Amino acid sequence: MKPNIKNIAVLTSGGDAPGMNACIRAVVRTGIYNGINMFGVTQGYQGLINDSIIPMGARSVSNIIHLGGTILKTARCLEFKTEEGMEIAYKNLKSRDIDGLIVIGGDGTFTGARNFSKKYNDIKVIGIPGTIDNDLYGSDFTLGYDTAINTVIEAIDKIRDTADSHDRLFFIEVMGRDSGCIALRSAIASGAEAVLLPERFTSIDELVTQLALGASTKKSSSIVIVSEGHKAGGAYDIAKQVKERFNHYDTKVTILGHLQRGGSPSSFDRILGSRLGFAAVNELIKGNTREMVGLRGNEIKTVKIEDALNNHNFKLEGDLLEMTKVLSI
């Protein structure tokens, strides 16, 4: 039986995340398998406005499952926030009779999808959580997070080698905006001495006390993970403030920056991207709209995009928080 939905477009928007290509591949192939015409939109919502909407076949997604970034490119598009921008996007989709749209991105992308679909409800929209920040309600993990944290850990391990050889204190800044998920989990996985999170204020005094304790028990190096959203400032600021009060170690700062976004996706992100892409097309086939597909307890489940936007789920587990103190003595 042919599904009701005839033409589906897929786009990636906001920050790129490893696993997006695996997800695009799954979306395109699941659609084609079900007899649906598939389209790719380049540069997120900007491509909808620029009419950059291209037909995609099973072979257009060959050999991309292992690639980082997104073959569709991504962009931040202010024009899509306006009524006029949305209207142009709608007309471009309608000119190809597109009746389903799958958006892969973070909360900004979902806000756009929700607003667009409320205004033009004859185009059904499904969201896929794709962001390294892991900050979306309704999915235990977002696409790209696992690869990003593995990249972070690999970098910290390398820094630890040199820190240990020179008796140094390193402040390593990681991404995450308002979410300390990358910082907290990478601190646990790399055995960092301390972590500064946006969700929980740690004063310089507290940090110095913790570092001094390590020094007094003969730690030869210390690593402090600083989440970019921490209220006391970035890694350079914090390093300066700590150095003024505690100069037991030679102090260095590393900002990991955009390397955290790149790289070949981990097996986890390839599988997650494939599952979410497959599920998103099936939700459109069932006739659903304004839903986000996510992973919860190893099952793919849906949540209303509205609910995903209204709840913040930064998932800072209590045991992990406690372990940052207990395991770093």
Residue list 243-302, contact with ligand ATP (CB under 6 A): none
In whole angstroms, how large is the CA radius of gyration of the chain?
Answer: 22
- Interface pick for ligand ATP out of 66, 81, 166, 296 (rule CB under 6 A): 81
Cβ proximity to ligand ATP, 80 vs 170, nearer residue: 80
x/- letters, 33..72, toward ligand ATP (CB under 6 A): ------------x---------------------------
Structure tokens at 127: 């969201």
- Interface pick for ligand ATP out of 9, 10, 11, 13 (rule CB under 6 A): 13
Residue 5 binds to ligand ATP (criterion: CB under 6 A): no
Q: Is 133 a catalytic residue?
A: yes
Q: Which segments of 175-288 are extended strands (E)? A: 194-196, 222-227, 250-255
Structure tokens at 5: 């939905």
- Interface pick for ligand ATP out of 34, 76, 153, 301 (rule CB under 6 A): 76
Distance between CA atoms of residues 327 and 161, nearest Å: 19
Angle at 313 between CA 255 and CA 270, to 5 degrees: 65
- Interface pick for ligand ATP out of 42, 70, 117, 131 (rule CB under 6 A): 131
Q: Note the Cα 224 to chain centre separation in Å.
A: 22
Residue 80 binds to ligand ATP (criterion: CB under 6 A): yes
Least distance CB 112 / ligand ATP (angstroms): 3
Cβ proximity to ligand ATP, 41 vs 211, nearer residue: 41
Angle at 251 between CA 245 and CA 255, to 5 degrees: 115
User: Three-class SS of residue 307?
Assistant: helix
Q: Are 238 and 227 in contact (CB under 8 A)?
A: no
Catalytic residue among 16, 107, 133, 135: 133
Residue list 93-112, contact with ligand ATP (CB under 6 A): 105-109, 111-112
- Interface pick for ligand ATP out of 15, 68, 214, 265 (rule CB under 6 A): 15
Phi-psi label, residue 44: left if phi above 0, alpha if psi -120 to 50, beta otherwise: left
Cβ proximity to ligand ATP, 19 vs 106, nearer residue: 106
- Interface pick for ligand ATP out of 14, 69, 129, 180 (rule CB under 6 A): 14
Distance between CA atoms of residues 319 and 155, nearest Å: 25
Residue 225 binds to ligand ATP (criterion: CB under 6 A): no
Least distance CB 60 / ligand ATP (angstroms): 24
Question: What is the arrangement of strands in the sheet containing 7-12, beginning at the earlier edge strand?
Answer: 53-56, 37-41, 7-12, 100-105, 124-129, 291-296, 299-304
Q: Which residues bind ligand ATP (CB under 6 A)?
A: 13-15, 45, 76-77, 80-81, 105-109, 111-112, 115, 131, 133
Q: Which amino acids are annotated catalytic?
A: 133
